[in-house]
Amino acid sequence: MRGKCLNMVHELARKDERIVFLGSDLGFGTLKKFREELPERFIMEGINEAHAIGMAAGLAFDGRIVYVNTIATFLTRRCFEQVALDLCLHKADVRLIGNGGGLVYAPLGSTHLAIEDIAIFRALPNMAIVAVADAEEMERMMPQTVDWPGPLYIRLAKGYDPIVSDPAIPFVLGKGMEIRRGTDALILCTGVTLGPAKAAADELAGEGISCSILHMHTVKPFDAELFLDMARGVRAVVSVEEHTVVGGLGGAAAELLAETPFARQPRFKRLGIPDIFPDKYGTQNQLMSRFGIDQKAVTEAVKGLLA
């Protein structure tokens, strides 16, 4: 997914001279071809994220569209004030590409996990947040990032993630994606959790439970209209995200559910990382299972709410 995303930046930059790439001490050889082909628009900064964001803003104020790339947690925790003021306050056309959203860097520990990145950026006016499900969806999404008005955070998954997206459903940045419509429960997901959401819905269908799936790739702006429309027809809503349950996808859903009058209020459950720093290493999948961000947990949550 990361490779696809960065290669798309290169491809888009070939067609649009406004596009600039700015990395922060990325891995050796990253976007080598971009650098060779368009050296004047390839910038590699050091390990100085706060400065890099301000610099990107300065470039964007001149009408450029700047794609910034480094590890997600350093784009969200390290330079929050620069993102808030230099980017969001100015509505700067800067795209923040965050490597390793969620539990990708499980073996590296809490310093490298971006488990509250969505919550951090959700709180910022003018910021948009997108987490696609796989590399193919990334390819459909990236051209739409060029003319997106204002700053945009692109949360990357591990890479070589299973292809679970459906090219037949049009991708529209800024809108939710209705994967299927059911009658009993709604599974709300973002990013790679589309996979377990679909698997759980299939499993539940085999047991006679009909599920809707809403893939909220764009967490902000949150497509409230579609979400509430899909929530109105069911008895249970389960959100599942590779992120803390505080303030992310489930948080956004909870806010809307709590404030919206329903003829019959659906029961609601958030699945995600509890309010802790993960206490184990291992692999991303091991931590996902530990925290109940998988097919099994979704299935059980839906059944539990419907019981």
Q: Supply the minimum distance, in Å, between the C-beta of residue 54 and another protein.
A: 3
Q: Which of 292, 265, 288 is nearest to 106 (CA)?
A: 288
Structure tokens at 135: 């590399």
Kindly provide the b/e burial profile for residues 163-198, where b requires at least 16 CB atoms within 10 angstroms of the residue's own CB: ebbbeeeebebbebbbbbebebbbbbbbbbbbbbbb
Number of Cβ atoms within 10 Å of the Cβ of 58:
13
Interaction of residue 126 with another protein, rule CB under 8 A: no
Nearer Cβ to another protein, position 25 or 300? 25
Mask 22-61, x = binds another protein (CB under 8 A)? ------------------xx-x-xx-x-xxxxxxxxxxxx
Dihedrals φ, ψ of 251, to 5°? Answer: -65, -45
Interaction of residue 90 with another protein, rule CB under 8 A: yes
Cβ proximity of 181 and 212 under 8 Å: yes
Q: Supply the minimum distance, in Å, between the C-beta of residue 51 and another protein.
A: 4
Report d(CA 1, CA 155) in Å as an integer.
10
Helix or strand or coil: residue 84? helix
Nearer Cβ to another protein, position 126 or 289? 126
- Contact window for another protein (CB under 8 A) among 86-94, 216-224, 260-268, 273-281: 86-94
Nearer Cβ to another protein, position 20 or 219? 20
Peptide bond into 221 cis (omega under 30): yes
Nearer Cβ to another protein, position 23 or 250? 23
Nearer Cβ to another protein, position 41 or 180? 41
Q: Supply the minimum distance, in Å, between the C-beta of residue 88 and another protein.
A: 11
Q: Supply the minimum distance, in Å, between the C-beta of residue 91 and another protein.
A: 8
Nearer Cβ to another protein, position 54 or 182? 54
Q: Supply the minimum distance, in Å, between the C-beta of residue 114 and another protein.
A: 21
Mask 253-292, x = binds another protein (CB under 8 A)? ----------------------------------------
Report d(CA 80, CA 77) in Å as an integer.
6
Compute the Cα dihedral for 237, 241, 246, 252 and give only its sign: negative
Report d(CA 194, CA 190) in Å as an integer.
6
Q: Supply the minimum distance, in Å, between the C-beta of residue 40 and another protein.
A: 6
Report d(CA 30, CA 25) in Å as an integer.
10
- Contact window for another protein (CB under 8 A) among 78-86, 114-122, 208-216, 230-238: 78-86
According to DSSP, the residues that pair with 213 across neighbouring strands are 180, 187
Nearer Cβ to another protein, position 8 or 53? 53
Report d(CA 2, CA 134) in Å as an integer.
10
Q: Supply the minimum distance, in Å, between the C-beta of residue 130 and another protein.
A: 24
The amino acid at 62 = D
- Contact window for another protein (CB under 8 A) among 62-70, 135-143, 221-229, 256-264: 62-70
Compute the Cα dihedral for 244, 174, 236, 290 and give only its sign: negative
Nearer Cβ to another protein, position 24 or 239? 24
Residues of the shown chain interacting with another protein in the complex, contacts defined by CB under 8 A = 20, 40-41, 43, 45-46, 48, 50-64, 81-82, 85-86, 89-90
